[in-house]
Chains A and B, each alone.
Chain A
Amino acid sequence: MATDTSLLEGEVSENPVDQEVNVEKMLFGFLRALLEEQQGQS
Chain B
Amino acid sequence: MSSSHSIIDSQKPIRCLVVQFSRLSDTIQSLMALRAAKQLYPNLEIHFVARDSFSAAVKRVSWIHKVIEFPSELILAPVLNGTKSERQSLGDLARWIGPLVKEPWDMVINWSYSESSSYLTGILPARIKLGFSRRKDTSFCSLDGWSHYMQAIVQSGVTQNIHITDILTTQILTALQIHFGEPENDGNAPVTSKSFFTLTTKSNEFSWHWRDLSRKWIAVQLDENPKRKSWSADSWAKFLHRILSKSPGHSVVLLGAKADLKKGQDILAILSHLLGQDPIASKQLLSLIGETDFDLWASVVSNCQWLISSDPSAIHLASVLGTRVLNISIGDSRWVETGPYGNGHYIVTALRDGCDPNEVTPEAVYGAWTYAATEWSHRRQLSLEDHFQQMGMATVFKTARVFRSKIRATQEGGGVYYEPLSSKSFREIDWMGMVIGHIARAWYCGWVPPVGQELSREKMGPILVQKLREIDESCRVLAQIYNEASLTASALNKKSSKLKSDKIMGVQDRTEIQELHMKLQDLDALVERLGKTQPALSSFLNMSKVLMHNLRGEAMAELGAEAAASYRQLNEGVSIMREWLQYSLNLAKPVMVPLQASRQIRQELIP
Contacts and interface: CB of A to CB of B under 8 A. Distances in A.
Interface of A: 1-5, 7-14, 16-17, 19-39
Contacts of B94: 23, 27
Given A37-B116, A39-B80, A28 B90 contact: yes
B123 A35 contact: no
Contacts of A33: 114-116, 118-119
A9 B178 contact: yes
Contacts of B437: none
B449 interface: no
Contacts of B443: 3, 7
Nearest to B122: A26
B138 A25 contact: yes
Contacts of B445: 3
B126 A1 contact: no
Contacts of A24: 90
A8 to B, nearest CB: 5
B446 A3 contact: yes
B129 A1 contact: no
B261 interface: no
Given A1-B446, A3-B445, A33-B119, A11 B133 contact: yes
Interface of B: 1-2, 5, 7, 72, 75-76, 79-80, 86, 89-90, 93-94, 97, 104-105, 114-116, 118-120, 122-123, 125-130, 133-134, 136, 138, 143-146, 148, 171, 174-175, 178-179, 442-448, 565, 569, 572
B136 to A, nearest CB: 6
B576 to A, nearest CB: 9
Given A10-B130, A27-B94, A16 B572 contact: no
A26 B446 contact: no
Given A27-B119, A34-B76, A16 B138 contact: no
B79 A35 contact: yes
Contacts of B90: 24, 27-28, 31
22 contacts: A3-B443, A3-B445, A5-B1, A7-B144, A8-B144, A9-B144, A10-B175, A11-B144, A12-B128, A13-B129, A21-B122, A21-B136, A26-B119, A26-B122, A27-B97, A30-B116, A31-B86, A32-B86, A33-B119, A34-B76, A36-B115, A39-B80
B362 to A, nearest CB: 31
Contacts of B134: 26, 29
Given A2-B446, A11-B128, A38-B80, 12 more contacts: A3-B444, A5-B5, A7-B145, A8-B146, A11-B130, A13-B125, A16-B104, A21-B123, A31-B89, A34-B76, A36-B116, A37-B116
B178 A8 contact: yes
B126 A16 contact: yes
B115 A26 contact: no
Q: Could you tell me the dominant secondary structure of chain B's interface residues? A: helix
B238 to A, nearest CB: 33
A10 B143 CA distance: 5
A15 to B, nearest CB: 9
Nearest to A42: B80
Contacts of B76: 34-35, 38
Contacts of A27: 90, 93-94, 97, 119, 123
Nearest to B109: A10
Contacts of B144: 7-11
Given A20-B136, A29-B134, A37-B115, A1 B175 contact: no
Closest 4 CB pairs of A and B: A3-B446, A7-B145, A30-B119, A33-B116
B145 A8 contact: yes
A22 B175 contact: no
A23 to B, nearest CB: 6
Given A4-B569, A29-B134, A13 B126 contact: yes
Interface centre among A11, A17, A27, A29, by most chain B C-beta atoms within 10 angstroms, is A11
Given A9-B175, A26-B138, A1 B448 contact: yes
Contact of A8 (B93, B104, B120, B174): B174
A29 B127 CA distance: 23
A11 B128 CA distance: 5
Contacts of B72: 34, 38
Nearest to A20: B136
Contacts of B171: 8
A37 B488 CA distance: 41
Contacts of B89: 31
Contacts of A1: 442, 446-448, 572
Contacts of A14: 7, 127
A12 to B, nearest CB: 6
Nearest to B120: A30
B134 to A, nearest CB: 6
Contacts of A31: 75, 79, 86, 89-90, 93
Contact of B138 (A4, A13, A29): A29
B125 A8 contact: no
